[in-house]
């Protein structure tokens, strides 16, 4: 049993992702907002097939705002798969990212990650906040 759990956690899990939909706010308003949240992408040296599949799905969903909650890079990661992934996304999708602990550990450096993300319409928040007032009032 332990072997099956380990196989799932280390090998299989990264090839699957869930798309969940939630209704929040007042249903009577008729206004909707689409948010997508990505966490722990852990890009290493190459863009993998599941990253391409994820980019295709995000383009189909076409969120109003894509939130990236840290660990875009693996601690041993490079910028090439980050560039490849973000180049696959519709550039009109607004994106905002925060760094995770592995982003700080990566040899590429946090400043380089910020520069790359900005090229792909992604705002990089480091110890700051940003209001997206164009999304409001949506409920």
- Decide if 104 is inside a domain: yes
Its pTM surpasses 0.85: no
- Decide if 4 is inside a domain: no
The whole-number pLDDT of residue 137 equals: 57
Those residues of the chain that have pLDDT short of 70 are 1-17, 23-25, 134-139
- Decide if 15 is inside a domain: no
The whole-number pLDDT of residue 139 equals: 46
Specify the DSSP element, H or E, that contains 117: helix 110-119
The whole-number pLDDT of residue 16 equals: 65
User: How many distinct structural domains can be found in the chain?
Assistant: 1
Structural domain including 48 reads: 22-135
The whole-number pLDDT of residue 14 equals: 56
- Decide if 56 is inside a domain: yes
SS3 breakdown of the chain: % helix, strand, coil, rounded to 5?
40, 15, 45
- Decide if 110 is inside a domain: yes
- Decide if 127 is inside a domain: yes
The CATH number of whichever domain residue 101 belongs to comes to 3.60.21.10
């Amino acid at each position: 049993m332990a072997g099956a759990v380990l196989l799932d956690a280390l090998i299989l899990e990264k090839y699957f992702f869930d798309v969940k939909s939630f209704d929040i706010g007042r249903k009577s308003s008729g206004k909707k907002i689409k948010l997508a949240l990505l966490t722990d992408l852990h890009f290493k040296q190459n863009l993998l097939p599941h990253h391409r599949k994820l980019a295709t799905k995000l383009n189909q969903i076409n969120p109003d705002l894509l939130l990236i909650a840290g660990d875009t890079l693996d601690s041993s990661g490079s910028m090439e798969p980050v560039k490849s992934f973000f180049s696959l996304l519709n550039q009109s999708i607004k994106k905002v990212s925060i760094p995770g602990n592995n982003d700080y550990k990566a040899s590429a450096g946090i400043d380089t990650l910020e520069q790359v993300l900005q090229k792909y319409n992604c705002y990089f928040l480091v110890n700051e906040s940003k209001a997206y007032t164009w999304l409001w009032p949506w409920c």
